[in-house]
Amino acid sequence: MIEATVSSAPAAPLPSPRVMYRALTRRDSAYEGVFYAAVKTTGIFCRPTCRAKKPRAENVEFFPTASAALHDGYRPCRLCRPMDRVPAPPPVVARLLRAVEQDPAARLADKELAALGVDPSTARRRFRAYYGLTFQAYQRARRMGLALREVRAGRPVIDVQLDRGYESASGFRAAFLRLFGKPPRGARTDDCLLARRLDTPLGKMLALADRQGLRLLEFVDRRGLEREILGLRRRLKCAVVPGASATLDAVEAQLRRYFAGERREFDLPLAPVGSDFQQQVWAALRRIPPGQTRSYAEIATGVGRAGAQRAVGRANGSNMIAIVIPCHRVIGADGSLTGYGGGVWRKQRLLELERVNGGAGNR
């Protein structure tokens, strides 16, 4: 939980793109830490002060944090090392970064680290101490970011990227195929899960839907998202492809209005995948009115399983349709927020949003 808070809590709002682009071309050190500049054509992100040749304005994308750039599929520049602080990272930390770039789609476990001559627990501790982000979270961000590049474009661009010599082309393809599966040949995507990335004030989200309805809606930096996607693919026997559908259009439109404070309830076809008990708990969650919260014990009683708080907690945590199935409205009996897959800071922001937009009689 702490890791998600450190890595993805949004920084202050960004200056205007024009101001940032000017700062970038002037290598203005006053903007150090204010924004990161990512170059669409190379897949690399930099500090404002990087001495590399500056990209054209239309090829730059700005991010408030390094984590946000990672989640968009960019890797840190080797010249300006935008992840690094002063003093420079310890050699073992630098080695971990290089090891990831050998195959950014893979997962480096303790065994592989040991094979590199690195003591895993020391290396992980030093990585986290230096970056304020666990090594695991860094790898996850690289893999997810690469896989999601395809989804961002909303069309198959793998080959385009390869043609352009995109820096991490191989990692990009491997990450996509590993997470989303091999798309079927031809245009038939009826049996696939269609994917769309959504921008929200609390960060990027991924939505997956098929003909039955919405299957998944999660923040892209949520821990366990890869496991959820692989589980869904196995259960539904399908691949994930970027695409368009009426359900995804509705998700996007309703989420926008929700965050704008113009909508409190969702009216979407939902098709959550889970056991009977999980389905009962998720249905109970949907009966909690916006602006209100319930305890785990209350939900347990509501589904006829008084005393089964733990089981309810697990079912709550395995909800894959964030916000719409409002697992964020379940809190501890003492009023504490307990946990949240997308980070407790998001749970808090969602509850605040619903309280502010709630009020008596404004439902």
The values of phi and psi at residue 351, to 5°, are -65, -40
Q: What DSSP designation does 250 have? A: H
DSSP string of 75-99?
Answer: EE-TTT-TT--SSPPPHHHHHHHHH
Sequence-separated (6 or more) residues with CB below 8 Å from residue 135: 96, 108, 123, 124, 127, 128
Under the binding rule (CB under 5 A), the answer on residue 100 touching Zn ion is no
Show contacts with Zn ion in window 79-98 (CB under 5 A): 79-80
Calpha distance 209→215 (Å, rounded): 5
Q: What DSSP designation does 361 have? A: T
Q: Which is nearer to Zn ion, 48 or 291 (CB)?
A: 48
Smallest gap, in angstroms, from Cβ of residue 76 to Zn ion?
A: 8
Q: Which is nearer to Zn ion, 24 or 174 (CB)?
A: 24
Q: Which is nearer to Zn ion, 52 or 333 (CB)?
A: 52
Show contacts with Zn ion in window 234-253 (CB under 5 A): none
Sequence-separated (6 or more) residues with CB below 8 Å from residue 147: 73, 105, 172, 175, 176, 178, 179, 180
For CA atoms 223, 273, 204, 238, the dihedral sign is positive
For CA atoms 297, 302, 308, 312, the dihedral sign is negative
Q: Which is nearer to Zn ion, 79 or 109 (CB)?
A: 79
For CA atoms 101, 103, 108, 111, the dihedral sign is negative
Of these residues, 46, 50, 238, 327, which one is catalytic? 327
Calpha distance 105→91 (Å, rounded): 23
Smallest gap, in angstroms, from Cβ of residue 145 to Zn ion?
A: 17
Smallest gap, in angstroms, from Cβ of residue 334 to Zn ion?
A: 47
Show contacts with Zn ion in window 1-60 (CB under 5 A): 46, 50, 52
Q: Where are the beta strands (DSSP E) in the chain?
A: 36-39, 44-46, 60-63, 75-76, 193-200, 203-210, 213-219, 240-242, 294-295, 330-331
Show contacts with Zn ion in window 255-294 (CB under 5 A): none
Of 70, 100, 71, 99, residue with least CA distance to 83: 70
Q: Which is nearer to Zn ion, 41 or 200 (CB)?
A: 41
Smallest gap, in angstroms, from Cβ of residue 45 to Zn ion?
A: 8
Q: Is 327 part of the annotated catalytic residue set? A: yes
Q: Which is nearer to Zn ion, 52 or 129 (CB)?
A: 52
Tell me if 241 sits within 8 A of 195, measured CB to CB. Answer: yes
Smallest gap, in angstroms, from Cβ of residue 54 to Zn ion?
A: 10
Binding mask 50-79 for Zn ion (x = CB under 5 A): x-x------------------------x-x
Of 170, 214, 184, residue with least CA distance to 196: 214
Q: Which is nearer to Zn ion, 23 or 80 (CB)?
A: 80
Of 88, 70, 80, residue with least CA distance to 24: 80
Q: Is 74 left (phi over 0), alpha (psi -120 to 50) or beta?
A: beta
Smallest gap, in angstroms, from Cβ of residue 96 to Zn ion?
A: 20
Smallest gap, in angstroms, from Cβ of residue 79 to Zn ion?
A: 4
Of 105, 106, 42, 125, residue with least CA distance to 76: 42
> Residues touching Zn ion: how many (CB under 5 A)?
6
Q: Which residues are catalytic?
A: 327
Residues at the site binding Zn ion, with contacts judged by CB under 5 A: 46, 50, 52, 77, 79-80
